[in-house]
Chain A
Amino acid sequence: MPNQNGTIYGLTILSPIINDEKATPSHDLQIRSYLASMPVGEDSPFALAPGTHLARLVVMDDVVFVGAPSIEEHLQSKYLVFESNCDGDLDGYLSGLAAAAPQDLDAIWSHCVGYPGAARPQAFVDYMKACQIETTFFFAAVNNKSVPETLRALQTQRAVADFIASHQGMEPARLQAEFVHFATRLRSAPLPKPGSPASPRPIKTGGRNE
């Protein structure tokens, strides 16, 4: 099933944008304006809803003419492309999006043909599926870890590096006690929020290579 690679789902959606010559600004431009102002960090709708690794929204204006002797042709509609690399089953993911960020979804997709609104979750899921295109080939570098598992692993990697650096040459009994304390603290630490930047590390100076 090309949409799925391991536990990761490759969702591709093309939603036709309303083509109304009387709309000012045009619907595609209104989508672009809204997307330009939407936060990309931990306040992103894709961070608030569970399960998005990476996602993009793109207004596709037309197909591309690559030059003669190929034929020049054009789309009748512009399309909003939604590409998402997400966890779990599709219905659960789309329902989670509708529940977490209905205002953003409505502000974007209300410019698309036949959009029913996020307030009707089943209609929203059905609409998205009607616009779905099956992925032909899907590659994932890591295909068996969820978003929380990945955020946890990145947090652990960073904390372990600091722990090792600050516990070099320690005698085993004390090292063991401190490791147990460190592991307990790390496991109970809150998970970093999706989309949040890494906090900057102070630059250590005075090493022997300077």
Chain B
Amino acid sequence: MSNINGKVYAMNAITPMKPWKTSVLKTIFFALEHIKPLQQDLINLSFIEFARWVSVPRNGFPYLGNGQAREELKYDYLLFFSNFNGTWNQYIDAFSAVLSKGLDLVWRWSEKFPGSVPVTLFKEYIARVQFDTDYYFTAYPHATANDLKSAHIVQASFDSLIERTGKCTPEEFGDAYLNFVIQVQAYLGDTGQAPIVF
């Protein structure tokens, strides 16, 4: 079991939904995908590298024959996979504090979902529906979501300065370099080993 690799935590959760509710949820996700301001809270959380919800219809589990028994389910299932920085408690607390309306909109269609506020019942529910990761890979274990965003800002400014360097006098370069330092100074935080999680 390895829910953690470097600075990232892999969370998996599965919740049952009555089939008629799946189409309602898909409509909500469609709106969330196409109306970008609705994603702003998710973006602002800033410690999620990737996350996804996957709705599996009760007759939608892969069936390949070869002796495999067909599933006979009454519920559809909603799978949730998240790749986030920090600890489980920090993540669920932040979800509850910042994203409660959005989360309620997504998970209220799942059976017995208590709401994301108050946080105690929400944590109990997530703990019940979560299952552990057996293998977890990240291409950049030393970096957080904020590190990635910062690194790309530094790279863009750096490329722009290189382009100008050959075309300017030392004095002009001095000014351009100073501007570059001002542009990137907030994005140079050190990456490195993950803190020990208790």
Contacts and interface: CB of A to CB of B under 8 A. Distances in A.
Interface string B39-82: 10011001011111111100011111111111111110101010
B133 interface: yes
B84 to A, nearest CB: 10
Contacts of B51: 138-139
A147 B139 CA distance: 7
Contacts of A171: 170
A131 interface: yes
A54 interface: yes
- Which range holds the interface residue count of chain B? 35 or more
B116 interface: no
A25 interface: no
B193 A197 contact: yes
Contacts of B56: 14, 133
Chain B, interface SS category = mixed
B32 A137 contact: yes
B191 A70 contact: no
A23 interface: no
A171 B187 CA distance: 24
Interface of A: 2, 8, 10, 12, 14-16, 19, 31-32, 35-36, 38, 40-41, 44, 46-47, 52-61, 63-64, 66-67, 70-71, 73, 75-77, 79, 81, 83, 85, 113-114, 130-142, 145, 147, 149-154, 156-158, 160-161, 164, 171-173, 175-176, 179-180, 183, 194-195, 197-198, 200-201
26 contacts: A40-B135, A44-B137, A53-B140, A56-B12, A56-B135, A63-B16, A63-B75, A64-B15, A66-B129, A70-B75, A77-B61, A81-B79, A113-B65, A114-B64, A138-B52, A151-B140, A152-B155, A154-B151, A156-B158, A160-B154, A160-B188, A171-B170, A172-B173, A175-B174, A179-B173, A198-B193
